[in-house]
Structure 1
Amino acid sequence: MKHILIVEDEQLIAELERDYLEVNGFKVDIATDGEQGLKLGLRGDYDLIILDVMLPLLNGFEVCKQIREKHQIPILMVTAKKEDIDVIRGLGLGADDYITKPFKPGELVARVKAHLTRYERLIGTKEHKDEIRIQGLLIDNSSRRVFVHQQEMNLTTKEFDLLYFLANNPNRVFSKDHLFERIWGYDATGDSQTVTVHIRKLREKIEIDPSNSQYIETVWGAGYRFRI
């Protein structure tokens, strides 16, 4: 049984989310503030975390950032704000997706199932290489760790998924739309700008000179490719 953590300070909303998830076969815990959510999330006992942005004691962005430094499980952020900057900031800190209040509980359940399925496929697939070594870059798919000249880089879930997909398909050009659909899925909320943000952050982490990329090449008007 998959174990879900809901971090939500509005009790009625948290209980409604819990009830719908439990009806669909999930085990659910609730944390009502950011500090409690962080403490539970860092234990690593959960398969997915539903994390509200506006929380007492510690906001959802900080909770997401600290959990992502330790664990790669899917994080679905919930926000009452529609401004793009909040969305981009949340994704940049490691969130896998976001959903805006108000939402239908059935939509939340569908989103949770989709991310769990996608995560299991990414970490459990056998047709992909366990390790990719290219010019000082080591991508270890089994442990989902990345090293540049033997120094480990701290990548978010989506940053790793994007890097691994590109590196596992070297010298092929993929459009931003294709990458968004492949990594985030058809049902994800967002657009190809999300890919641009993640590519930029990847370059900052794995490239010696992000402005003169050694690994991830921009093919103007077409998309990106991993160069070997």
Structure 2
Amino acid sequence: MSAKLLLIDDSEEIQALVGLFLEKEGYQVIRARNGREGLRKLAHERPDLILLDIMMPEVDGWETCRQVREISNVPIIMLTAKGQERDIVRGLEMGADDYVTKPFDLAELRARIRALLRRATEMSPEDSQPKLFDDGYLRVDLERRLVTVEGKGVDLTPTEYRLLAALVQQAGRVIPHRQLLKQVWGPEYGDEVHYLKLYVRYLRQKLEKDPSHPYYILTEWGVGYRFRDFPGRD
């Protein structure tokens, strides 16, 4: 069965151009003209991925993204005419997985959709990899997908969780930037180091006692990142 995509955009041109292109690529495309309609169709259609415009009337893309993340981990790609970093960062902070700046190349959009769908359906890590990190302050339980700090649950976006899982599974080892990017975002993202730096910052803010002096997620300058080794193995 083909993947179901929810396209939320108030532009008739985008609805026609992108919707027709994706249907020709074999996807089932559900259309919504604004965030409010998109949220209704999310509940009824249960799409595999959302394409979400930012600048819309009534409920804009940022607020729509926030509300989607309250009820679903469905992958989200933001479609925006705004290319400034602060707008991209805001979308990612709301829980979006990726963004494409208008005007965009349809082949690039197709590649990003494929990467996110593939990532969402990948198998879980091998049984030989570590499943639990617990040093009394931070607990990362990959088996149960639970993260706590001092016993309190930590709310992570799907991308934040994938990045943390990738680091924990190789705790104590230096993981190069490109390897992390390809593992967490997909093979098309090997050079997108700004993605990685942004999400490492998010994780540090949520997990570290002092994000400016990280204890768990350590920077190996010019190379990549290393998660502190498991208790007793340091």
TM-score (norm 1): 0.87
**Ranges in structure 1 where 5+ consecutive residues have no aligned partner:** none
1:51 aligned counterpart, secondary structure? strand
* Cα separation, 2, equivalents of 1:24 and 1:58: 29
State the match for 1:83 in structure 2.
84
* Cα separation, 2, equivalents of 1:81 and 1:190: 21
* Cα separation, 2, equivalents of 1:174 and 1:187: 18
CA contact (8 A) 1:88 1:194 kept: no
Aligned-partner residue type, residue 216 of structure 1: I
State the 1:43 CA deviation: 6.0
1:1-228 paired onto structure 2 within 5 Å? 1=1, 2-41=3-42, 45-121=46-122, 124-127=123-126, 129=129, 131-136=131-136, 137-141=138-142, 144-188=145-189, 191-228=192-229
State the 1:85 CA deviation: 1.8
CA contact (8 A) 2:4 2:47 kept: yes
CA pair 6-86 structure 1, distance change in 2 beyond 3 A: same
CA pair 55-201 structure 1, distance change in 2 beyond 3 A: same
Aligned-partner residue type, residue 126 of structure 2: E
CA pair 70-220 structure 1, distance change in 2 beyond 3 A: same
State the 1:227 CA deviation: 0.3
CA contact (8 A) 2:130 2:169 kept: no
1:69 aligned counterpart, secondary structure? helix
2:116 aligned counterpart, secondary structure? helix
Aligned-partner residue type, residue 66 of structure 1: Q
Task: Render the CA deviation track for 1:166-193: whole Å, top value 9, x for unaligned.
Answer: 0000111123343223322342497212
* Cα separation, 2, equivalents of 1:142 and 1:31: 36
Task: Render the CA deviation track for 1:128-173: whole Å, top value 9, x for unaligned.
Answer: 5583232143434466442233322111121111100000001111
**Ranges in structure 2 where 5+ consecutive residues have no aligned partner:** 230-234
State the 1:58 CA deviation: 1.4
CA contact (8 A) 2:132 2:143 kept: no
* Cα separation, 2, equivalents of 1:132 and 1:96: 25
Aligned-partner residue type, residue 26 of structure 2: G
Task: Render the CA deviation track for 1:66-108: whole Å, top value 9, x for unaligned.
Answer: 2123322211111112212212222222211111112233332
Q: Percent identity?
A: 39
State the 1:127 CA deviation: 1.2
* Cα separation, 1, equivalents of 2:205 and 2:73: 19
Aligned length: 226
CA pair 44-173 structure 1, distance change in 2 beyond 3 A: farther
Aligned-partner residue type, residue 114 of structure 2: K
TM-score (norm 2): 0.85
Task: Render the CA deviation track for 1:14-35: whole Å, top value 9, x for unaligned.
Answer: 1332222222222221110122
